[in-house]
Amino acid sequence: MTQIKIPFALKSIETLEFATFDKVYKDGDEVGIETNFNFGVSREEHSLAVHFSLVFICHEKPFIKLKLACDFDIEPLSFKKFTVMKSNSLKVPKSFFTHLSVLTVGTARGVLHAKLENTEYDHFLLPTLNISEMIKEDVEFSA
């Protein structure tokens, strides 16, 4: 398997949503976490976006929510290599979006820590996630 090099830079981080809800969680309650990814593209700016959301749930109700977006500038010649000529769509390799998603999840972990620090929820951390199992295939954007 040949690895291609794709030069990129983190362009921006945006916290799209953050909330905590009182009276849902009590010490000792069982807690679950739901996560989700969405991906975006800007052909004009040669950039890709990873949107990541997480929700801590207790008693089937959310008590911590975070939505975050990281935008990445891609070197224009490398970005052009994503183009599928026949359909004029863009196809980004799974391995590259996995890498960008790992960076985004790490960023979300830091944002979550900063937002929860010195609160009643400061002991909640985003656990490690196996992103390569979450992104199953190349990501394609239609024309």
DSSP string, 23-83: TS--TT---EEEEEEEEEEETTTTEEEEEEEEEEEETTEEEEEEEEEEEEEE-HHHHHTTE
Tokens representing residue 2 in the block: 């040949």
What is the reported pLDDT for 28? 87
Cβ burial of 115 (10 Å; 0-12, 13-18, 19+) is middle
Q: Where are the domains of the chain?
A: 8-141
Q: In the structure, what pLDDT confidence band is assigned to residue 27 with cuts at 50, 70 and 90?
A: confident
Residue 12 parent element (H or E): strand 8-20
What is the reported pLDDT for 104? 98
Cα torsion 55, 57, 60, 62 to 10°: value is: -60
- For the cut 70, the answer to whether the pLDDT of residue 2 exceeds it is no
Q: In the structure, what pLDDT confidence band is assigned to residue 32 with cuts at 50, 70 and 90?
A: very high
Whether CATH 3.10.420.10 fits 8-141: yes
pLDDT tens digits, residue range 40-73? 999 999 999 999 999 999 999 999 999 999 999 9
Q: Are 63 and 24 in contact (CB under 8 A)?
A: yes
What is the reported pLDDT for 117? 97
- For the cut 50, the answer to whether the pLDDT of residue 37 exceeds it is yes
- For the cut 70, the answer to whether the pLDDT of residue 3 exceeds it is no
- Average model confidence (pLDDT) across the chain: 94
What is the reported pLDDT for 1? 47
Q: In the structure, what pLDDT confidence band is assigned to residue 85 with cuts at 50, 70 and 90?
A: confident
Cα torsion 97, 78, 15, 136 to 10°: value is: -10
pLDDT, average across residues 117-142: 93
Q: Are 8 and 72 in contact (CB under 8 A)?
A: yes
